[in-house]
Amino acid sequence: MKIHHLLVILVAFLCLGFAVYLYFEEEKNDESLMKKEVSYTNHESAHLKNYCEKGEMQSPIQIKNKNVLPQQTPAIEIFYGEEPFILKKQGYTLEAVSKSRVSYITIDKKPYKLDSFHFHVPSEHQIDYQRYEMELHLVHKNNKGKIAVIGVLIEAGKENEMVEELWNFLQDDRLKEKEIESIHLLSLIPEQRSAFYYSGSLTTPPCTEGVHWIVFESPIDFSNKQIASFYQVYGYNSRPLQPINGRDIYKLSVQ
């Protein structure tokens, strides 16, 4: 009996040791992913990224489904239509600035007007360690200056016809700005509206915190050619993953 008890205790210790090993391996993998920076190819961006090192609630982050909390609050609704934009070639990305600011979202019935949108390659957020080819950020502000950003992951697939005019402008070396009469914004978000919600920051300087982040779970498609065209102009322009620092991440359905 004593030998039997010793064997049981020995097996229990071995199981416990293996579980601890797996836990620390996972933490080590997370840390290595956060430290693996995606290099900025633009000198100005490489310099400015040094202003983003402070704060405990920074973005982007690694989203793990196993740690996500199911919750239907806050209630988020999208009210997008077609509207004119001014396209601008910034030092680190292509930005489209709304002229009319008629499109908006609500967070618990409080409106946030769409201010602009821009792109990153590869994606800044990851879901269960998967990084996508690109990420679109739709930036919204309320009347008090608070910010809400919708993140849309982009994978290689079929061509997105809506962005062709944007990409034609991107390839035109003669123009720095251009007005575009109408962009159909709903073509830039997925039909499946399951999303992750958390509190974070802007991913470009000044990396302001207190940002409402809504990251759609399902990606949209750009063609390989469209992805390559953006990369040829801007190269990698994504910020490295940031520590979660105990923040809650919620999964909800956007209306």
Q: Whole-model pTM?
A: 0.82
Read off the CATH number of the domain in which 164 is found.
Answer: 3.10.200.10
- What sign does the CA torsion over 222, 235, 176, 189 have? positive
Neighbours of 176 (CB within 10 A): 11
* Cα separation, 154 vs 128, whole angstroms: 16
DSSP string, 99-124: SS---EEEETTEEEEEEEEEEESS-S
Would residue 69 count as lying in a domain?
A: yes
Domain of 125?
A: 37-253
What tens digit of pLDDT does each residue of 203-238 get? 998 899 999 999 999 999 999 999 999 999 999 999
In a domain, 20, yes or no: no
- Domain membership of residue 245 (yes or no) is yes
Output the pLDDT for position 72. Answer: 72
Give the pLDDT confidence of 117-162 residue by residue, as tens digits: 999 999 999 999 999 999 999 999 999 999 999 999 999 999 999 8
> For residue 14, is it within any domain?
no
Task: Using the predicted structure, report yes or no on whether residue 22 has a pLDDT greater than 80.
Answer: no
| Contact of 54 with 235, CB cutoff 8 Å | no
CA gap 35, 243 in Å, rounded: 10
Dihedral sign for Cα 91, 96, 99, 105, please: negative
The answer to whether residue 161 sits within a structural domain is yes
Contact 147, 208 (CB under 8 A): yes
DSSP for 188-249, please give it.
Answer: GS-SS-EEEEEEEE-SSTT--EEEEEEEESS-EEE-HHHHHHHHHHH----PPP---TT---
Q: What is the pLDDT of residues 154-185, one digit of tens each?
A: 999 999 998 988 999 998 888 899 999 999 99
Number of compact structural domains in the chain: 1
Q: Domain for residue 28, yes or no?
A: no
20 or 126: whose pLDDT is higher?
126
The encoded tokens of residue 28 equal 């080590």
- Of 125, 116, 148, nearest to 213 by C-alpha is 148
Is 98 a domain residue? yes
What mean pLDDT is predicted for residues 35-40? 38
Does any domain span residue 237?
yes
Helix (H, G, I), strand (E, B) or coil at 87: strand
User: What average pLDDT does the segment 67-76 reach?
Assistant: 87
